[in-house]
């Protein structure tokens, strides 16, 4: 798990300044200091294989996703223009949308979650709602729901928009309302299916929109919906997260 060879990097967008790839589950974006193979390593190897040495040398991830979150990761390919993209990300001048499946069915159809986040002093892996934390806002809309059955509890398919970009923001915000993500054993609970198999984390970075700081074009990048979402909500389409 987490191993993708050069030929199978899913490129979603590419120009001379940036590259967007569809990150699979089970791989980290940046080095964790443990010599674990990263998505950045994989993309670097891919660029070398394509004889794009200059881009490989300048390669830098502009955003990150958790190990088991899938979807769009944006890379800078040019050190000269990277600061402009860094500033864009830091100023939250990008629109980031996610598909998520949570346990339970909210009473609301749409909700703005406005709750600051800080580190959990009792568990270094976790974040928590904290009055003294950094501002964090998440807009959530319910796309579809399904009743409890022998395979899974009550579930809701969600369209999630990040208005800020804090660590574990979506996971903590939804769990704080009593709707943890399916497959999130850090903030939720294990949910097993037939054969005692665990569900993977049901969080996918499906869309990113930004004004390209070099060309000034409005750019929208989309990642295909993974099979694990279709398995639970067969009728979900790309239109559901727009």
Strand 110-114 and strand 117-119: the pairing is unpaired
pLDDT at 3 over 60: no
Burial of 72 (C-beta count, 10 Å sphere; 0-12/13-18/19+): buried
pLDDT at 6 over 50: no
**pTM value?**
0.90
pLDDT at 216 over 70: yes
Q: What is the pLDDT of residue 196?
A: 60
Nearest to 212 by CA among 76, 97, 79, 99: 76
DSSP 180: P
In whole angstroms, how large is the CA radius of gyration of the chain?
18
- The tens digit of pLDDT for each residue in 27-60 reads 999 877 676 789 999 999 999 888 777 777 889 9
Burial of 108 (C-beta count, 10 Å sphere; 0-12/13-18/19+): exposed
DSSP 70: E
| Known active-site residue 123 | no
- Calpha distance 76→20 (Å, rounded): 9
Give the chain's domains with CATH numbers: 1-91 (3.30.2350.10), 95-227 (3.30.2350.10)
Answer yes or no: are the C-beta atoms of 160 and 178 closer than 8 Å: no
Q: What is the pLDDT of residue 192?
A: 66
End-to-end CA distance of the chain: give it in Å, rounded: 30
Average pLDDT, the chain: 90
Q: Which of 5, 41, 58, 66 is catalytic?
A: 66
Among 83-92, 162-171, 220-229, name the one with the lowest average pLDDT: 83-92
């Amino acid at each position: 798990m987490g191993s993708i060879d050069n030929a199978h990097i899913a490129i979603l967008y590419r120009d001379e300044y940036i590259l967007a790839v569809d990150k699979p589950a089970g791989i980290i974006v940046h080095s964790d200091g443990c010599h674990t193979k990263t998505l950045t390593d994989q993309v670097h190897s891919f660029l070398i294989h394509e004889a794009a040495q200059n881009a490989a040398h300048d390669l830098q991830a502009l955003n990150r996703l958790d190990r088991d979150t899938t979807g769009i990761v944006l890379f800078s390919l040019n050190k000269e223009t990277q600061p402009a993209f860094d500033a864009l990300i830091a100023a939250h001048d990008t629109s980031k949308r996610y598909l998520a499946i949570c346990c339970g069915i909210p009473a609301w159809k749409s909700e703005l979650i406005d709750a600051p986040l800080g580190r959990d002093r009792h568990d270094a892996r976790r974040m928590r709602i904290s009055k003294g934390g950094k501002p964090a806002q998440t807009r959530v809309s319910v796309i579809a729901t399904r009743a409890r059955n022998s395979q899974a509890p009550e579930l809701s398919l969600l369209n999630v928009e990040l208005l800020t970009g804090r660590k574990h923001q979506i996971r903590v915000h939804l769990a704080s309302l009593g709707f943890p993500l399916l497959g999130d054993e850090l903030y939720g609970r294990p949910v097993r299916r037939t054969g005692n198999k665990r569900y993977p984390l049901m969080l996918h970075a499906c869309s990113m929109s930004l004004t390209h700081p070099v060309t000034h074009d409005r750019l929208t990048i989309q990642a295909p919906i993974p099979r694990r979402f279709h398995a639970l909500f067969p009728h979900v389409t790309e239109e559901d997260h727009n």
